[in-house]
Amino acid sequence: MAKAPGKTTSSGSSEGLTFDTVVELLTMLDGSDLPTRIVYKDGPLRLEVERGTSSAPVVVAAPPVAPAVAVAPTPAPQDAVAAPAATPAPATEGRGEPVAAPIAGVFYRAPSPDAPPFVEVGQQVGADDVIGIVEVMKLMNTVRAGVAGTVVEVCVDNAELVEFEQVLVRIEA
């Protein structure tokens, strides 16, 4: 590849992520038989495209969500009676490998309000097992464990707003 995706003005500043850039990134993926992941950042915009790790390509494009401005969806019935509490600082240290949020949004521990959580403390998981979902602008992004082992800590409550790279769970290999 001789040049990076995106257009640059004569002053050297980027014009932002364009449709042509997205098509070019997807074309690069389509031409490869290997599992591939591309992360493209342009200012506040982040585009992730992944292929070869699941049955279909996953495309996520969204600017970061500011926690003070974001509005969480209606909580599940079991969460509706809980009193609001101060949210603790994101967990930074602990035993086990951290599984971080791939994007800022609302974290869901279960596929629906009446379903059991994807994972619980003490549960064995494989690297490709889903540990939760992060919703951004009505797009549901599955979060996979990334490592096989035992879940030793769940760091985030259901329907909690999470930041990019915030630790969601910890898994001990």
Tell me: pLDDT of 63 over 90: no
**149 contact partners, CB below 8 Å, separation of at least 6:** 96, 97, 124, 125, 171, 172, 173
Please give the pLDDT value at position 94: 76
**63 contact partners, CB below 8 Å, separation of at least 6:** 44, 45, 46
- CA dihedral 2→6→8→9, nearest 10 degrees, is 140
Q: Rounded mean pLDDT of 82-91?
A: 43
pTM metric for this prediction: 0.49
Give dist(CA 117, CA 39) in Å, integer.
29
Q: Rounded mean pLDDT of 50-63?
A: 53
Tell me: pLDDT of 23 over 90: no
Could you confirm whether domain 95-172 is CATH 3.30.565.10?
Answer: no
Considering only residues 121 and 41, tell me which one the structure prediction assigns the higher pLDDT.
121
- 110-169 pLDDT per residue, tens: 999 999 999 999 999 999 999 999 999 889 999 999 999 999 999 999 999 999 999 999
Domain(s) labelled CATH 2.40.50.100 in the chain stretch across 95-172
| Antiparallel, parallel or unpaired: β 45-51 and 58-62 | antiparallel
Neighbours of 49 (CB within 10 A): 19
Query: DSSP label at 126?
Result: -
Give dist(CA 67, CA 152) in Å, integer.
27
Give dist(CA 41, CA 60) in Å, integer.
12
